[in-house]
Amino acid sequence: MGIVVQKYGGSSVADAAGIKRVAQRIVNTKKQGHDVVVVVSAMGDTTDELRDLAQQVTPLPPPRELDMLLTAGERMSMALVAMAIQRLGHEARSYTGSQAGVITDAVHGKAKIIDIRPGRIQEALGDGAIAIVAGFQGVSHDTKEVTTLGRGASDTTAVALAAALGAEVCEIYSDVDGVFTADPRMVPTARKLERVSTEEMLEMAASGAKILHLRCVEYARRYDMPIHVRSSFSNLEGTWIIPDNHPGAQDMEQAIISGVAHDRSEAKITVVGVPDKVGEAARIFETLAQAEVNIDMVVQNISAATTALTDISFTLPRADGQAAMAALARIQSEVGYDKLLFDDQVGKVSLIGAGMRSHPGVTAKFFSALASAGVNIGMISTSEIRISVTVDEAQIETAVQAVHAAFDLDADEVEAVVYGGTGR
Q: Which residues bind Mg ion (CB under 5 A)?
A: 9, 152
With CB under 6 A as the contact rule, the residue among 18, 73, 101, 420 that binds ligand ASP is 73
Beta-carbon count within 10 A of 423 CB: 12
Cβ proximity to Mg ion, 90 vs 230, nearer residue? 230
How far apart are the C-alpha atoms of 104 and 256, rounded to whole Å?
38
Residue nearest to Mg ion (CB): 152
Interface region with ligand ASP, contact rule CB under 6 A, candidates 151-159, 346-354, 366-374, 409-417: 151-159
Interface region with ligand ASP, contact rule CB under 6 A, candidates 149-157, 204-212, 234-242, 325-333: 149-157
Interface region with ligand ASP, contact rule CB under 6 A, candidates 109-117, 152-160, 164-172, 189-197: 152-160
With CB under 6 A as the contact rule, the residue among 41, 104, 174, 197 that binds ligand ASP is 41
Compute, in degrees rounded to 10, the torsion defined by CA atoms 137, 140, 143, 145. 20
Cβ proximity to ligand ASP, 153 vs 176, nearer residue? 153
Interface region with ligand ASP, contact rule CB under 6 A, candidates 55-63, 148-156, 190-198, 370-378: 148-156
- Find the binding residues for ligand ASP in span 153-172 (CB under 6 A): 153-154
With CB under 6 A as the contact rule, the residue among 8, 136, 173, 407 that binds ligand ASP is 136
Residue 8's binding partner, choosing from ligand ASP, Mg ion, none, with beta-carbon cut-off 5 to 8 A by kind?
none
Cβ proximity to Mg ion, 158 vs 399, nearer residue? 158
Q: Is 151 an interacting residue with respect to ligand ASP (CB under 6 A)?
A: yes
Residue 315's binding partner, choosing from Mg ion, ligand ASP, none, with beta-carbon cut-off 5 to 8 A by kind?
none
Residues binding ligand ASP: number (CB under 6 A):
12
Residue 73's binding partner, choosing from Mg ion, ligand ASP, none, with beta-carbon cut-off 5 to 8 A by kind?
ligand ASP
Cβ proximity to ligand ASP, 48 vs 91, nearer residue? 48
Q: Is 135 an interacting residue with respect to ligand ASP (CB under 6 A)?
A: yes
The 3-state secondary structure of the chain reads: CCEEEEEECHHHHCCHHHHHHHHHHHHHHHHCCCEEEEEECCCCCHHHHHHHHHHHHCCCCCHHHHHHHHHHHHHHHHHHHHHHHHHCCCCEEEECCCCCCEEECCCCCCCCEEEECCHHHHHHHHCCCEEEEECCEEEECCCCCEEECCCCCHHHHHHHHHHHHCCCEEEEEECCCCCECCCCCCCCCCCECCEEEHHHHHHHHHCCCCCCCHHHHHHHHHHCCCEEEEECCCCCCCEEEECCCCCCCCCCCCCCCCEEEEECCEEEEEEEEEECCCCHHHHHHHHHHHCCCCCCCEEECCCCCCCCEEEEEEEEEHHHHHHHHHHHHHCHHHHCCCEEEEECCEEEEEEECHHHHHCCCHHHHHHHHHHHCCCCCCCEEEECCEEEEEEEHHHHHHHHHHHHHHCCCCCCCCCCCCCCCCCC
Residue 389's binding partner, choosing from ligand ASP, Mg ion, none, with beta-carbon cut-off 5 to 8 A by kind?
none
Cβ proximity to ligand ASP, 153 vs 400, nearer residue? 153
Contacts 24+ apart (CB under 8 A), 118-125: 118/161, 118/164, 118/165, 120/95, 121/37, 121/95, 121/161, 121/165, 122/165, 124/93, 124/95, 125/3, 125/35, 125/37
With CB under 6 A as the contact rule, the residue among 6, 8, 10, 37 that binds ligand ASP is 10
Residue 42's binding partner, choosing from Mg ion, ligand ASP, none, with beta-carbon cut-off 5 to 8 A by kind?
ligand ASP
Q: How far is CA 293 from the centre of its chain?
A: 16
Cβ proximity to Mg ion, 37 vs 369, nearer residue? 37
Cβ proximity to ligand ASP, 225 vs 406, nearer residue? 225
Cβ proximity to ligand ASP, 45 vs 177, nearer residue? 45
Residue 47's binding partner, choosing from Mg ion, ligand ASP, none, with beta-carbon cut-off 5 to 8 A by kind?
ligand ASP
Residue 136's binding partner, choosing from Mg ion, ligand ASP, none, with beta-carbon cut-off 5 to 8 A by kind?
ligand ASP
Q: Is 97 an interacting residue with respect to ligand ASP (CB under 6 A)?
A: no
Q: Is 231 an interacting residue with respect to ligand ASP (CB under 6 A)?
A: no
Give the residues lining the site for ligand ASP (CB under 6 A).
Answer: 9-10, 41-42, 47, 73, 135-136, 151-154
